């Protein structure tokens, strides 16, 4: 039997959750363009869509927001656990440990929507609490009157965030909420396929996300934007890098061989927020020049800004340190991971591929 290294292009499941169409640069969540959702919906609504298959009605939305806000408060034993973990436990180790400890209501099979809501809502509280503790600051209790994303920013910084920052982070978290059968989602589905519980599946998924080959931070793009510094330097710096044979960080994508729909959607949002944050404006300018230069130097390669490019601009505008990048990405992906666990549970068969033995045989 042919062995496919890394299972690349192996179709291992049918899914209703999302379509990742790299050839046409399209990302669809349950029949909706992710780009449209990012501009018009709240993160909670998109989680609802991923879990229930349709956006909530007005009535469902009110009840869902209410339940979601209530779920943002951590059980006291999880608060204590976060506070007592040694400093050597970084943000991802803490998120992984705390999610696994969220409580027995998340430990049953099959996974339920309220378990997913509990864990997804709590993830940002865990991240914000640990972040503040590591800064030597007191944690900020979740403000239940805010949206999920605004509450996250408030718990990190203590200020009521600007509308522009909430809109940008909301879009980023929606566009990274789901992306097909990537490594962490597959991990979650493998765990769910043994009839294990949602907390275990999400804990395993976080573990997979922690690796730099998956949850790699867009730090390279931040370095590039910082090096450019102001619009008038963009062309010289970018031209110099291309002529030196360097890849421009934040451009090109392995799957999307045309535009990256997530990059495009974030670009649109930063354009709409023009003048609201200097990092958005610098990123728009750099992107325009870079795309023109890549077309000049690398004709026909179809190189456009990927999700990391605009993610970097947004995270920079929010003044997030790099320690928050992968945890924020993971907190966003909780919705997609949970949707895949539901799908796995609905039509379950234990995932159990085979390996070809190439070691020695016992001597007679």
Residue numbers of the site for ligand ACO (CB under 6 A)? 247-254, 294, 298, 301, 303, 306-308
Catalytic residue among 178, 287, 308, 343: 308
Comparing C-alpha atoms, which of 350, 353, 341, 360 is closest to residue 116? 341
Q: Nearest distance from residue 170's CB to ligand ACO, in Å?
A: 19
Comparing C-alpha atoms, which of 20, 5, 48, 8 is closest to residue 338? 48
Alpha carbons 122 and 74: distance in angstroms, whole number: 6
Catalytic residue among 253, 287, 340, 343: 253
Q: Nearest distance from residue 308's CB to ligand ACO, in Å?
A: 4
Q: Nearest distance from residue 327's CB to ligand ACO, in Å?
A: 16
Q: Nearest distance from residue 76's CB to ligand ACO, in Å?
A: 37
Structure-token match 């209530």, residue found: 70
CA atoms within 13 A on the CB side of 310: 30
Which one, 111 or 290, has the nearer CB to ligand ACO? 290
Q: Nearest distance from residue 36's CB to ligand ACO, in Å?
A: 20
Which one, 141 or 295, has the nearer CB to ligand ACO? 295
Is residue 253 flagged as an active site residue? yes
Which one, 119 or 305, has the nearer CB to ligand ACO? 305
Alpha carbons 235 and 189: distance in angstroms, whole number: 45
Which one, 295 or 323, has the nearer CB to ligand ACO? 295
Which residue's Cβ has the minimum distance to ligand ACO?
252
Is residue 232 flagged as an active site residue? no
Residue 318 token pair: 């929010």
Q: Are the C-beta atoms of residues 322 and 217 closer than 8 Å to each other?
A: yes
- Neighbouring residues of 119: CB distance < 8 A, sequence distance ≥ 6: 99, 102, 106, 198, 199, 202, 334, 338
Which one, 17 or 222, has the nearer CB to ligand ACO? 222
Comparing C-alpha atoms, which of 127, 142, 138, 128 is closest to residue 96? 127
For the chain, helix (H) and strand (E) counts, in that order, are 17, 3
Residues forming the active site: 253, 308
């Amino acid at each position: 039997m042919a062995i496919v290294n890394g299972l690349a292009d192996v179709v291992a499941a049918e899914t209703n959750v999302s379509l990742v169409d790299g050839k046409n640069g399209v990302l669809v969540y349950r029949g909706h363009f992710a780009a449209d959702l990012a501009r018009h919906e709240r993160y909670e609504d998109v989680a609802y869509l991923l879990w229930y298959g349709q956006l909530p009605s007005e009535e469902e939305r009110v009840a869902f927001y209410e339940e979601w806000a209530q779920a943002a408060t951590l059980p006291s034993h999880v608060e204590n656990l976060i506070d007592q973990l040694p400093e050597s436990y970084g943000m991802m180790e803490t998120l992984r440990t705390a999610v696994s400890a969220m409580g027995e209501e998340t430990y049953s099979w099959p996974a339920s929507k309220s378990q997913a809501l509990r864990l997804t809502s709590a993830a940002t509280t865990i991240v914000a609490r640990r972040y503040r503790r590591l800064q030597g600051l007191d944690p900020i209790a979740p403000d239940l009157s805010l949206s999920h994303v605004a509450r996250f920013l408030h718990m990190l910084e203590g200020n009521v965030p600007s509308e522009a920052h909430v809109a940008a982070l909301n879009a980023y978290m929606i566009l990274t909420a789901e992306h097909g059968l990537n490594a962490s989602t597959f991990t979650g589905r493998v765990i769910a396929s043994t009839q294990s519980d949602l907390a275990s599946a999400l804990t395993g998924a976080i573990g997979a996300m922690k690796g730099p080959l998956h949850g790699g931070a867009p730090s390279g793009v931040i370095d590039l934007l910082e090096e450019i510094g102001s619009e008038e330097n963009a062309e010289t710096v970018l031209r110099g890098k291309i002529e030196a044979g360097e890849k421009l960080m934040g451009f090109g994508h392995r799957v999307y061989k045309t535009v990256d729909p997530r990059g495009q959607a974030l670009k649109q949002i930063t354009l709409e927020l023009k003048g609201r944050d200097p990092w958005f404006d610098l990123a728009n300018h750099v992107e325009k020049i870079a795309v023109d230069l890549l077309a000049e130097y690398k004709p026909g390669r179809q190189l456009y800004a990927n999700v990391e490019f605009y993610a970097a601009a947004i995270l920079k505008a929010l003044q997030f340190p790099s320690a928050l990048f992968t945890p924020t990405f993971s907190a966003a992906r909780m919705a997609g991971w949970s949707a895949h666990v539901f799908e796995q549970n609905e039509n379950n068969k234990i995932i159990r591929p085979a390996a070809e033995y190439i070691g020695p045989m016992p001597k007679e």
